[in-house]
Structure formats: C-alpha cells, structure tokens
Structure 1
Amino acid sequence: MTAGVRHLLGLALAIVSFVGTIVICALPQWRIEKIFWESSNVAPQVFIEGLWKVCGPYSAHTECKEYEEPFVSISQDLEVARALIVIAIIVGVIGILLGAAGSKFINFVPDERKRSKIAMASGVVCIIAGIFVLIPISWTTITTTTIQNNFNNFLPHGTLELGASLYIGWITTALLFLGGGLLCSSFICQDGTD
C-alpha cells in the first residue's frame, strides 16, 4: 500500500470516527436502568441516561429532561465524559484539518517534507482524540458494571445495562487509533512505497 493510499484511508477512518464521536455525544443512551415490578403484567420502568439528558417515564409517556432541570442530577462519570467527549470532538476536527492539509492530493503545502510532517501530526492528534474518547467510555463501562453488582443487592428486580453509545464509542476509539496509525505510517514511507 502506498503512502498516499494509506494517508487517504487514515483520513477516511478519522472522518468516520469523528462522526461516531458526535453520535455518542448526542445519543442519550450511555446507561440504561430497568426496574421490574413483582407482577409480570406491568411493563418495566426504563430510565436512559445520556451526556445531556435523561429519559424516563416522568408522566404518562416517556419524556427526556435535561440535567440542569431541578431534581435531575448527572452522575460524576457522565459529567466528566461530557467534557472529554467535547474535547475529543474539537481535537478530532484539528486532526482532520491537519490530515487534509498534509494530503498529497491537495496542494496546500508545496514542500513534500513539511507535508509529511503535517500528516504525522495529524495521526498523532487523531490518536490523542482516541484517548479522549477511550477514557470516558472505559470509566463509564467500569462504573456501570460496578454499580450493577451493587445494584442487585439493593434492588433485586432491576438491571443496569450499558447503552448503545458505549458500544459505538468502543468502535469509534478503535477507528481513531487505526486512522491515526495509518496517518502516522504515511509519514514513515516518504518515498511513497512500503
């Protein structure tokens, strides 16, 4: 695989993972809490926590409320995750812009040596963005499983599950690391071949 193809593939993976980071930031499914009742005829109550709002049966139907409203508080792991995911989005934008500037197909920087250094910087920035996604995803996963183990002791008729955002976050992290690695490796192959 030539360095140019490797660079384009890394940039494409960085863009896809950037979209994934935005999805996990916006999607309100980080943690799902289900409470079952003694009688099997009653449907379980489901509370879904996200970074910006919590959804649950607050009235006759399921409603989402922001954390800033009274009586709705955000847990510490989700509050830190909110900040780190926003930082990851900002860092991801910088990585993508550097990747586009360091591309061999866009003549933004005429000097080949500087262009390859920009590509290397783009890869490093994408890997840093992956770390900013990995930390809250891992912390929330560990916190949720720890709470689930303690949750069964206090509420035997309830479950606490990982939400879809965490699974998307794991994939996004892998794509950020892979894309960043491909962008960095395009710097190593300066002659254009392996």
Structure 2
Amino acid sequence: MTTPDKNDKKLSTKDITADNMPITSDEMIGWIQSRRSMGNLDVPAPSHAQIKAAIECAATAPDHKKLRPWRFIVTEGDARHDLGRALVDAAKAKALNDGEVLSDKTIEKTHTLPLRAPVIITAVTQMQEHEKVPHFEQMLSTGAAVQNLILALKAQGFSTVWRTGLLCNEPAVKAYFGVGADDYVTAFVYTGTSAIDEPARKPIDIEPLIRFES
C-alpha cells in the first residue's frame, strides 16, 4: 500500500516551470496535447498526498450551482482483489441474465483487471435533483473533473488510463462502491508508472470538428 511521503507537496506554479521560468502558453498547450492513455502500469504509484493534490485539481471542474456531484474512491493494495471479485460477480450476473455461462478463463481475466495498475481512482457521479442543473450537466462535470485529475497526475510524473467498460454500473459493482441505483460509476482511472514513454501523438485534423459563427 502506498503511504504518504513527507516530501510530497501540493502542485504549484513552480512544479510546472523550467529553470525557474514560467512555461509559456504554447508550452502548456503542447504539454496537454501530449497526454496519452498508458496501460500496464506499475510502481512507483502516486502517494496519498499526491492523489489528494490531483483530486484538489479535479474539484476545480466546472460545476453548475456547486453541487459537487463527484466522489473519488482510491483502491490500492489488496483492495484491488476485492474490486476484482465484485467485477466477477457483476460479470456472472450479467451473463446469467443473457443466458450465458462465463468460462474459467473469462472469470480469471475479469478478476485480475484491477491488477493492471497499483492504484485505481474511481470517479462516481452522485446525481442530485436541481431545477437548474439537469443530470447530464452533472455527468459532464464529473468528466471534466476526471480530465483535471488525469492532467494533475501527469504533472506529477504519473501515467494514467481511463477505463470504464460494460461492468462498471452493474449492481454488484455499484454495491461494492456504495453507489445509489440512480448514480453512476463514471470512470476507473488506473494510475502508476509506465515502463515506456508516452508515444508521440499524430496531428489531429480539427477542421471537421469545429465551426465558427459570427
């Protein structure tokens, strides 16, 4: 289990500067554009203090009426096996409902899914009734919080991959996290250290994705 390091500190402007000079906006944009999802993560993992710093960044996401619909559950160490068992229970129930039977190979693979990283940060959306904030806005707020979380972990030197999948909102998984029937498990953020560098991203043609009106 990861323990806090007395040398950990909150993310600050100094943490994203080079030679004590603030980075330029172009450098910051380039850094964000370099983000890649990385699987098969290992130790070292972020400490509790580093995770809390990343969640503080997550909590700055746009949040209409300040409902704070997002919650974060950190799974590490042996608790990953417990999550794996919840995923297996969910997979078995889903298969039974579909008139299927899971193979031993599928059960083992499902059970070991949470072992692909030393730490998993689960983002949950707790839906709230508000006349001015529809549920879709609350879900989008959680998505924005997850992106902030991922970038803050990247700023501290860690790799991530955002996983969800067909099982994340099955009853057994919701029960494991204590999530209400009308709420959502929105993201499994796997985090740790990658053995390889992030590959360069090919240029993205944004022209088909944007329209200016005046």
Q: TM-score, normalised by structure 1?
A: 0.24
Q: TM-score, normalised by structure 2?
A: 0.23
More helix by proportion, 1 or 2?
1
**Higher relative contact order by CA 8 Å / sep ≥ 6: 1 or 2?**
1
